[in-house]
Amino acid sequence: MSVLTRDEAQTRAQLLDVRRYTIELDLTTGDETFDSLTVIRFVTRADADTFVEVKPAELRSVTLDGQPLDPETLDGNRLPLKNLTAGEHELRVDAAMRYSRTGEGMHRFTDPTDGEAYVYTQLFMDDVQRVFAAFDQPDLKSVFELSVKAPEGWTVLANGVTEHTDGVWKAAPTPLISTYLVAVAAGPWHSVTTEHRGLPFGIHCRRSLAPYLDADADELFEITKQCYDRYHEKFDEPYPFDSYDQAFVPEFNAGAMENPGLVTFRDEFVYRSAVTDTERQTRAMVIAHEMAHMWFGDLVTLRWWDDIWLNESFAEYMGYHTLTEATRFTDTWTDFGVVRKGWGYDADQRPSTHPVAPEAVDDTASALLNFDGISYAKGASALRQLVAWLGEKDFLAGINTHFKRHKFANATLADFIDSLAAHTDRDVHAWADSWLRTTGVDTLTPRVTPGDDGTYTLQVERTGSRPHHIAVGLYDLDVADEGRHLVLRERLALDVPQTEPRPIGKRPTLLLLNDGDLSYAKVRFDAESFEGVRTALSGLPEPLTRAVVWNALRDAVRDGELPAAAYLETARTHLPHETDLALVQGVLGFAAAQVADRYLAPEERPAALATLSSLCRDLIRRTEDGDHPGLRLIAVRHAIDVAAHPDTIAAWLADGTVPGGPELDPELRWRILSRLAVLGATDEAAIAAELERDPSATGREGAARCRAALPDAEAKARAWDAMFATDDLSNYLFTATAQGFWQPEQADLVRQYVPRFYEDAVAVAARRGPAIADVVGRWAFPVYAVDEETLGLGETCLSEADPIPALRRKLVDQLDDLGRALRVRQGVRQA
């Protein structure tokens, strides 16, 4: 499939004005294909040739202005339109299109619980051509008029309100939107509806999840309404569409997609099992994020994919900020600091790093790679820094000017900066150049110098080039509390680089740069402050402050400046006293998945697992009173994951409960069975029995994960063939199988598959496309083979095997992480 280049898009945008799409889809033609009839009305501004994109199973007929075109002229995904004259035209394309099993285009899923089928679209970037013919680029906005013929008993959801007669559903014509934002979701949905401010709101899921959606419907609607109201307080432009549906769909690749009027979410957000309040907060943040896109991305859309930050960075920032302002989740920036900032920092230190706003993205394949921790987390961090520097009043004024100037149209970075500049005397153009056009993470290091009078001054050394407006926290030990807690003496506002040293008075126990996490930078500690962290980290009064400290320790481990074992020691000392769930989850996750599994040598891993098991037992004992169910659930999950011996968790599974609770729900049962499979303490019969107990889609994934994790040569061969020898696995079943396959306890058993991975990964990615390539590179990579041989094999693959861009990017990142792990093991400091 040919990818669209930036130059081609610019040329076509100058030529065309696309007025209207009339699309008829027929979903009653079978399980493999559906019918797609598209009529496009457009105007050419000059005599010229151009092309339309379509990727059919069968192209039946094409007519242009009533004259037939030869379907055989279709070249890959491009249908040439020759000798167009200036003026109005009508293109009619009749095709059969394939359903997808990879979450791209029109995805089809059959629920194993009840046999019901569901379909939904994911047309992002360039997948609209898998569903209907289109001039597929974001700056050729148009009106879309859609009708869908569906089986009896189905409901069809779309961007606008739908009505149906005799099995044909018609959606209200859209305002001007981009092709990638068109959406359809069809099936026997379970729906809950309400109305807010005269607008219909709906939430939808497959029927087998109905009880779980109903249980959370009030919470979901409350969050949706609170965010909706808060955005209307912030933005002058009202919500620009005629309804607001949120559909929780199966086997969805992303967290969610901002289709106007019909947001699609992965249906893991319909919770079948117990979750923590932080997980509920994450779901709420995704709701807030996607609603922000109704303005940032849908009302005003990027002109080309080099400005994806105008979509994602803003939605990320607004999601967290608005959730804090408008809902019961008032501490969301801690979760951002723990989860999202690390994602951004890691991505920004790899060879694949890129600016938040690159000056040119050559084509759609390159653009797809940039939806990463930089465009989301770093971009949102940059906006948080901008607001701290500019002030929220001027920031919001600039946003509202931007909406007014470009509503239902397209915009660029330059357009947005001009809108901001209209409301401030600050040099926002220079700010954009230093923050959005550059790569890498700055490092801030304090230099504390004593004076003759017993007081101290602070000079911050910066590695990097960005200006930072930060807070510096000065913390003293609380002598009345036997030194277990730290008390904030003062927060100083500081601009880096400094013009002169800053007086700080007496020497604090802890001097913390970037307290409050308002900037995007790695921070270091001076020796006295590190000692304060080591002895009293859990005694810091605010969770966001503790998040900044834990991130600094995490960065120091990754950079080879803090031994991995010292991080474990700090976690063992302080995590038993932690109250914030996001911090407990984040620290345990890093300690297990990175420190124990990758950064420590194999012979050191058993001791690390013992430390983590002991820590989890402490947390479980601490929560026996039942007052901290979320903390207990996190501790139980991690106790399962790091169990080195099967006896305790096998007893939990047999009893159906952890002593003192919780009772084992499906998620915990599959988690235990997966760990037992790794340890060789279960078998196929037990897996089959559990699948009979839980025959849901999630159960099928759990069974696939367990079967691939069995320490048996035949089980490994079957799992490998399922992933690479056939194309039968859906995106989710492929992921589950890959997650089970590689285990650090089974290094010798799977060693033969390490060299096989590269050849087989390149082949399956070429056959199945970017979505599966992403899964292969993320989950099927041999992450536990931390050695020079694996690194060399990967580098040879990159230089000789020509993997498709989506896989190449994943391999580049994985190999860089592997090299970093090797250097951490060797005690090598790294930038």
- Per-residue pLDDT of 702-758, as tens digits, reads 999 999 999 999 999 999 999 999 999 999 999 999 999 999 999 999 999 999 999
Mean pLDDT of 759-774: 97
d(CA 15, CA 32): 36
- Domain check: are 407 and 500 in the same one? no
pLDDT value, residue 94 = 98
> How far does CA 803 lie from the centroid of its chain?
23
Domain co-membership, 98 together with 15: yes
Q: Is it the case that residue 1 has pLDDT exceeding 70?
A: no
Closest CA to 359 of 306, 280, 400, 322: 306
- The residue from 53, 237, 279, 290 that is catalytic is 290
C-alpha 628/C-alpha 580 separation (Å) is: 11
Q: Supply the pLDDT for residue 65.
A: 98
Q: How far apart are CA 831 and CA 817, in angstroms?
A: 13
Range of the domain at 451: 442-519+521-562
Q: Is the domain of 413 the same as that of 458?
A: no
Per-residue CA distances from 145 to 34, 128, 177, 179 (Å): 18, 15, 11, 12
Same domain assignment for residues 415 and 473: no
Using DSSP, state whether 159 is helix, strand or coil: coil
CATH number at residue 349: 1.10.390.10
Say how many residues make up the chain: 831
Domains held by the chain: number:
4
701 labelled catalytic: no
- Mean pLDDT check: name the lowest of 27-31, 209-213, 356-360: 356-360
Q: Which of 673, 815, 810, 645 is nearest to 740 (CA)?
A: 673
Provide the 3-class DSSP secondary structure of residue 301.
strand
Q: Which of 394, 504, 525 is nearest to 449 (CA)?
A: 504
From residue 549, alpha-carbon distances to 445, 489, 539, 540 in Å are 13, 17, 12, 10
CB atoms near residue 627 (< 10 Å): 9
Residue found by looking up tokens 């994806």 in the block: 308
Last residue of a domain, one of 436, 462, 477: 436
Contact predicate 537/546, CB 8 Å: yes
SS3 512: strand
Q: How confident is the model at residue 830 (pLDDT cuts 50, 70, 90)?
A: confident
- Spell out the residues 6+ positions from residue 15 whose beta carbon is closer than 8 angstroms to its own: 44, 45, 46, 48, 50
Q: What is the tens place of the pLDDT at every residue in 156-183?
A: 999 999 999 999 999 999 999 999 999 9
Q: Nearest-CA neighbor of 261 among 179, 176, 164, 161?
A: 161
**Nearest CA to 157 among 104, 203, 109, 103?**
203
Residue 27 falls within a domain, yes or no?
yes
Helix, strand, coil percent values for the chain (each to nearest 5): 50, 20, 30
Task: Round to whole Å and give the CA distance between 826 and 821.
Answer: 9
For residue 556, the SS3 value is helix
Residue 139: partners with Cβ closer than 8 Å, 6 or more residues away: 9, 13, 178, 301, 303, 304, 410
Q: Within this chain, do residues 249 and 354 fall inside the same structural domain, yes or no?
A: no
Whether a cis peptide bond, with omega within 30° of 0, leads into 666 is: no
Burial (CB count <10 Å: 0-12, 13-18, 19+), residue 22: middle
> What is the pLDDT at residue 482?
66
Supply 439's token pair: 């790569």
Q: In sequence order, what DSSP letters do the residues of 631-678 get, joined into one string?
A: HHHHHHHHHHHT-SSSHHHHHHHHHTB-TTS-B--HHHHHHHHHHHHH
User: Which pair of structure tokens corresponds to residue 722?
Assistant: 């399922």
**Count of CB atoms situated within 10 Å of the CB of 491:** 16
Does 474 fall in a domain? yes
Q: Which residues pair with 119 in a beta bridge?
A: 108, 186
Q: Where is the domain boundary, 509, 544, 562?
A: 562
Secondary structure of residue 252 in the 3-state scheme:
coil
The answer to whether 46 and 33 are in contact (CB under 8 A) is: no
Tell me the β-bridge partners of 467.
none
The model's pLDDT over 463-489, given as tens digits with 9 standing for 90+, comes to 999 999 999 999 999 877 766 789 999
Please give the C-alpha separations between residue 795 and each of 20, 122, 169, 800, 808, in angstroms, as whole numbers: 48, 33, 52, 9, 11
Same structural domain, 210 and 318: no
Helix axis angle, 770-779 relative to 805-826, nearest 10°? Answer: 10
Identify the band that residue 131 occupies on the pLDDT scale cut at 50, 70 and 90.
very high
Cβ contact 424:390 at 8 Å: yes
Q: Is residue 385 part of a domain?
A: yes
Instruction: Give the tokens for residue 648.
Output: 């305790």
* pTM assigned to the model: 0.97
Three-state DSSP at 197 gives: coil
Exposure of 276 in the CB half-sphere (CA atoms within 13 A): 20
User: What is the dihedral angle through the alpha carbons of 759, 764, 767, 772, rounded to the nearest 10 degrees?
Assistant: -140
Report which DSSP code applies to 823.
H
Looking at the structure, do residues 248 and 321 belong to the same domain, yes or no? no
483, 408: one domain: no
Residue 553 is encoded by which pair of tokens?
A: 């320790």
Alpha carbons 78 and 353: distance in angstroms, whole number: 31
Q: Within this chain, do residues 231 and 260 fall inside the same structural domain, yes or no?
A: yes
Q: Are 70 and 160 contained in the same domain?
A: yes
In angstroms, the Cα distances linking 572 to 63, 528, 576 are 70, 21, 7
HSE (side-chain half, CA atoms, 13 Å) at 509 = 21
Whether residue 62 lies inside any domain: the answer is yes
Q: Which residues of 65-213 form beta strands (DSSP E)?
A: 67-69, 78-84, 87-98, 105-110, 117-122, 143-149, 155-158, 162-165, 168-171, 184-187, 190-196, 199-205
Among 63-77, 145-159, 474-488, 655-669, the minimum mean pLDDT is found in 474-488
pLDDT digits (tens, 9 = 90+) for 403-451: 999 999 999 999 999 999 999 999 999 999 999 999 999 999 999 999 9
Residue 641 covered by a domain: no
Indicate if 453 and 325 belong to the same structural domain: no
- 585, with CB counted inside 10 A (0-12, 13-18, 19+), is buried
Q: What are phi and psi of 440, to 5 degrees?
A: 95, 170
* CATH code, domain with 123: 2.60.40.1730
In a domain? residue 284: no
Q: Which two three-digit tokens encode residue 364? A: 């759609």
**What type of residue sits at position 792?**
G
Q: Give the pLDDT score at 831.
A: 64
612 is a domain residue: no
Q: What percent of the chain has pLDDT over 90?
A: 97
Helix, strand, or coil (residue 39): strand
- The answer to the question of residue 288 being in a domain is no
- Distant-in-sequence, close-in-space partners of 365: CB < 8 Å, separation ≥ 6: 3, 770, 804, 805, 806
Point out the least confidently predicted range of 297-306, 566-575, 622-631.
622-631
Closest CA to 38 of 145, 189, 124: 145
Query: Tell me, what CATH number does 533's domain have?
Result: 2.60.40
Query: End of a domain among 377, 411, 436?
Result: 436
Let me know: does 612 contact 588? Beta carbons within 8 Å: yes
Task: Report yes or no: 690 and 703 within 8 Å, Cβ to Cβ.
Answer: yes
Same domain, 421 and 489: no
Q: What is the pLDDT of residue 503?
A: 96
Q: How far apart are CA 782 and CA 738, in angstroms?
A: 10
Helix or strand (DSSP H, E) at 36: strand 33-44
Question: Which residues, at least 6 apart from 593, have a Cβ–Cβ distance to it below 8 Å?
Answer: none
